[in-house]
Amino acid sequence: MSVSVPLATVPQVVYPDSDGQPMAENTKQFRWIVTIQGGLDALYANDPNVFVAGDLLWYPVEGDNTIRTAPDAMVVFGRPKKDRGSYQQWLENHIAPQVVFEVLSPGNRRMEIVRKLGFFEHYGVEECYIYDPDDGDLSGWQRVHGQWRAIETMNGFTSPRLGVRFALTNGELELYGPDGRRFATFVELSQQRATEQQRADAEQQRADAEQQRADAEQQRAAAEQQRAERLADQLRALGVEPGNGS
C-alpha cells in the first residue's frame, strides 16, 4: 500500500506597503519632503520612463521582507510612471533607485542615517543627498568609479544624474533645476502663478489701452479726412478747385 506524501508548500512572502513609521515628524520636515519630491516629479513630468516617489518602501531582495528602507524621496531612471504600494526591485527589471534624498528630523539622526547610507551604498544607489533643515547642514555622497564617496562641497554642487544644483543661503537649502527654476512649495507656486497672472492681466490692460488710443487716433484721422473732403466739395460748389492757389 502506497502512501502519498503532500509536497511542502513554500509560504508566500508578503511585502508590506507600510513600516508603521510616520512620513515626517514635524511640519518643517514634511514641507521639505513634499517640496523635493514635487520638484523632482515636475522635473520629469514629461518623461514616462522616470519614476519619482516619496516615502515609498524599497525592497531590494526578493524573498526577504526585512531588508527594506523608505527614502524620503527617490528617483529611478528606466522605470515607468505608475502607482506602486512599494518598490520591489526584482519586479522593476532589477533597477535600484539611482538618486535618493533624506530630510533629517529630531528623531531621524546619526544612527538611522548611518544605517541608511550603508543600505544605499550596498544596494546600488548612485547619489544620496541629506539635508538637516534645523541646522542648515547639507551633505552628499556619490558613486565614483564604483566607490562610494562623500562630496566635499555641496554648496553650488550639481547632481550629475539630475542636473539639479544645490545652494545654501543662510543655511536654507535651494534647489534649482536644469532650467534655472527653483524648487518651490505649493504655496509659493500658487503665489507665483497669481503674480504671473496679475502681470499678464496688467500687460493685457496696457495693450488694450494702447489699442484704444490707436483706434481713437484712427477715428480722429478718418473724421479729419471727412471734414477735408466736405470742405473740398463746398469749394468746388463755389467754383474753386481745392489746392489751386488762384
Query: What is the CATH classification number for the domain harbouring 52?
Result: 3.90.1570.10
163 belongs to a structural domain: yes
21 belongs to a structural domain: no
**Tens-place pLDDT, residues 24-61:** 778 889 999 999 999 999 999 999 999 999 999 999 99
Domain end marker among 151, 166, 183: 183
Using the Cα atoms of residue 120, residue 125, residue 127 and residue 129 in order, give the sign of their dihedral.
negative
Lowest mean pLDDT among 77-91, 169-183, 225-239: 225-239
**Tens-place pLDDT, residues 113-145:** 889 999 999 999 999 999 999 889 999 999 999
Residues 89 and 146 in one domain: yes
Residues 131 and 207 in one domain: no
Going by their DSSP bridges, the two strands 127-132 and 99-103 should be labelled as parallel
Of the ranges 15-19, 143-147, 196-200, 220-224, the best mean pLDDT one: 143-147
Residue 3 confidence (pLDDT):
56
Task: Supply the pTM of this predicted model.
Answer: 0.74
What is the rounded CA–CA span in Å between residue 69 and residue 197?
Answer: 42
245 belongs to a structural domain: no
DSSP 158: B
124 belongs to a structural domain: yes
Residues 205 and 215 in one domain: yes
Residues 174 and 194 in one domain: no
The cell 524620503 sits on which residue? 72
Collapse the DSSP code of 205 into the 3-class scheme (helix H, G, I; strand E, B; otherwise coil) and give the result: helix
Residues 33 and 81 in one domain: yes
Query: How many structural domains is the chain composed of?
Result: 2
Residues 195 and 103 in one domain: no
**Cα dihedral value 141, 136, 58, 126, nearest 10:** -20
What is the rounded CA–CA span in Å between residue 125 and residue 99?
Answer: 6
Q: pLDDT at residue 194 above 90?
A: no
The cell 527589471 sits on which residue? 93
189 belongs to a structural domain: yes
127 belongs to a structural domain: yes
What is the rounded CA–CA span in Å between residue 82 and residue 74?
Answer: 14
- Cβ–Cβ < 8 Å for 97, 87: yes
The cell 509536497 sits on which residue? 7
152 belongs to a structural domain: yes
Residues 36 and 144 in one domain: yes
- For 206, the grid coordinates are 496696457
Mean pLDDT taken over the chain = 86
Using the Cα atoms of residue 26, residue 29, residue 33 and residue 36 in order, give the sign of their dihedral.
positive
Collapse the DSSP code of 27 into the 3-class scheme (helix H, G, I; strand E, B; otherwise coil) and give the result: helix
- Determine the length of the chain: 246
Q: Which domain holds residue 228?
A: 185-237
Which residues fall within 8 angstroms of residue 178, CB to CB, at 6 or more apart? 43, 163, 164
Residues 92 and 125 in one domain: yes
Going by their DSSP bridges, the two strands 87-88 and 58-59 should be labelled as parallel
